[in-house]
Chain A
Amino acid sequence: MTAVTASVTTSVPTSVLAAGTTGATRIDAGAGDYVLVALYFVVVLGIGLLARRRISSSLDFLLSGRSLPAWVTGLAFVSANLGAIELLGQAANGAQFGEQAFHYYWIGAIPAMVFLALVMMPFYYGSKVRSVPEFLGRRFDAKTQRLQGLLFALASVLLAGVNLYAMAIVVNALLGLPTWLAIVLAGVIVLAYTFLGGLSAAIYNEVLQFFVIVATMVPLTLIGLHRVGGWGGLVEQLTDQGSGSMLQAFPASDLTGIMNSAGSTIGVVLGLGFVTSFGYWTTNFTEVQRAFSARSASAAQRTPLIAAFPKVLIALVIIIPGMVAAVLVPGISALKTGGDSGGATYNDAVPLLLDELLPNGFLGVALAGLLAAFMAGMAANVSSFNTVVTYDLWQDWVRPGRDDAHYLRVGRAVTVIGTALAIGTAFIAAGFTNIMDYIQTLFSFFNVPLFAVFVLGLFWKRMTGSAGFWGLVSGTLGAVVVFVLNQTGTIALSGQGSSFLGGGVATVVAVLVGWLVSQGGTPKPEAELRGLVWSLTPAAERAVPREPGVLRSPVVLSVLVLGMAAAGYVLFAVI
């Protein structure tokens, strides 16, 4: 799922819960459908087994030995993001906000992915770090690295739990398994393939999952449009329904809650497009790790760009089905017109649409795709959890200087522990009435302060090691204080407003404290910061070696993908 979803959406998965407990979305799958689903799981576990014989060092297990081609890491990059909450949440946004939901992709994700590729990747890959905390360790000091390692491990386990829970809820709704059994079963399957094959298996499965998800969503979109009488029919029925604003991407007042047109547009461009998305895409190790495992600097740099192309297009097959659901699914349509929705909410758009549109047979493929999406997010969290715990906490802190076989064993053990913890946090997540508020809050705690410290350290060479540490501490505390004040009613804001304010406070506090602490200390010698700070890294060193071919040029790819995102807006403005 994206932070973007997390921090701006008001609507997402509370209601998935309701679906799970009432079984309102129980899908009528037949034996043949289950066979197709089972086949998928056999293949997934088979990949883990095959990957196992290639694992010979901890680097193989944790970073795939840095040997994967760019198209594989690129698809894994986008697929790590195409988890349960992304699929359900963005389709829900499509059903609720219509074309305004495209902003999450075309203004939110794409420019940030281009920024990551052009500006950040050369530093990440060139410094040969294995994780984002390790980068902080080099730029600042060991205590900053350890703090970030701990924060990240905590965030990963909490998010893995949310993914696992969301998945279990849907498994429960679709197949009727009890929630606790679905949670444990899903955890065991993800554990099995991550344990056997490490990151290679997780990444290869993500690529496979990507294709299965696309194979599900494309026919779903086409059949949906066919049923409503094509795009023209959809436009007509939405207009008749009184949902005309769903057909206008700007000014997106429904989405931002800002009634003033100019204000709302600025809110989308700056809030969604810059602060949230840049913070998420450039420092979220779950994503960035996919690029670290590329086989060359050039492949690493292309990874986010290759990921951006499917990201542009995938918006179409997630948002449009959501819009179709708004007219075709009685429960969702009732939400629009104020009728009785029978307990359905926007979050149920995808499961309800599967039930509405797909015959037995293809339904099996779709269920496999849906389950695949659920596992992708969880597996991504678990595999980056074990990298950070093994390298940044265990190897650099608790038990340095052992042989590699030791760290490989630790990596495997940590995978088991991480999954067990995620199963535990899934039950914690089950206790929250509004999962999305929970996630939003987590992002304001964990992502925003990190991004602020990171960017300051990257561009300001005088920032000291301690400044990084205290900036991170104070920024995180700032977000926590806002959360607590909001919980206790001292400031009264909706969930969305609170995490926005929390993020804003975290940024200001982190930068201010970083600056203040830097005044009282001596910056690290410039020689040590070479390759870690923009102005101290010679342009020649920053340059990633070019591979031949126009389509391998990062600039050409960036221009193309930005052009495609812009073309998307033009397309929907004219049709």
Chain B
Amino acid sequence: MPKRSAKLADLAFDIRSVIGALFVVYGLVCLVWGLVSFPPEAAEKTGGVNLNLWAGLGMLVVGAVFVAWVVAKPLTADDPAVREALDDDATSGAADGGDR
């Protein structure tokens, strides 16, 4: 596998990106949901709080924090997990990593 795409895959595989992306999407969906619709049934359930709006906002913030974390401190070559992945690519084709 070419090095560049390997790096991209590692970036995507960084669990922080996955958590960040999921929470941003969930946050946006709930936020918009809360903005466009707050029916009386919903208000009755939550005791008057627009839960979609606030929970959406909260999840958006959490998601944004994770994304910011990835951007501010990306996986670098110093990280053992990445170094290992890059080593694998360097010796590409070595199917068996053996005991590390």
Contacts and interface: CB of A to CB of B under 8 A. Distances in A.
Contacts of A227: 46-47
Given A208-B22, A215-B58, 16 more contacts: A39-B25, A39-B26, A43-B18, A51-B13, A54-B85, A56-B97, A57-B97, A67-B100, A204-B13, A211-B62, A219-B58, A223-B47, A223-B49, A359-B45, A404-B96, A404-B98
A328 to B, nearest CB: 10
A445 interface: no
B90 to A, nearest CB: 13
A405 B95 contact: yes
B94 interface: yes
B38 to A, nearest CB: 8
A53 B1 contact: yes
B64 interface: no
Nearest to B34: A361
Interface string B28-45: 011001100101011001
Contacts of B13: 47, 50-51, 54, 204
Contacts of B45: 356-359
A358 B51 contact: yes
Contacts of B51: 219, 223, 358-359, 361-362
A59 B46 contact: no
Interface residues of A, number: 43
Contact of A361 (B23, B52, B62): B52
7 contacts: A53-B9, A56-B88, A208-B18, A215-B58, A219-B54, A219-B58, A361-B37
Nearest to A128: B99
Interface in A202-257: 204, 207-208, 211-212, 215, 219, 223, 226-227
A365 B55 contact: yes
A59 B100 contact: yes
Contacts of A36: 26, 29
A313 B52 CA distance: 24
A106 interface: no
Nearest to A64: B81
Interface string A334-375: 000000000000000000000011111110010000000000
B33 A361 contact: yes
A53 B6 CA distance: 9
Given A359-B45, A361-B52, A362-B55, A65 B33 contact: no
A62 to B, nearest CB: 12
A160 interface: no
Nearest to A69: B81
A295 B80 contact: yes
Given A57-B98, A59-B100, A65-B100, A362 B15 contact: no
Contact of A359 (B9, B19, B46, B84): B46
Interface string A31-59: 01000100110010011001101101101
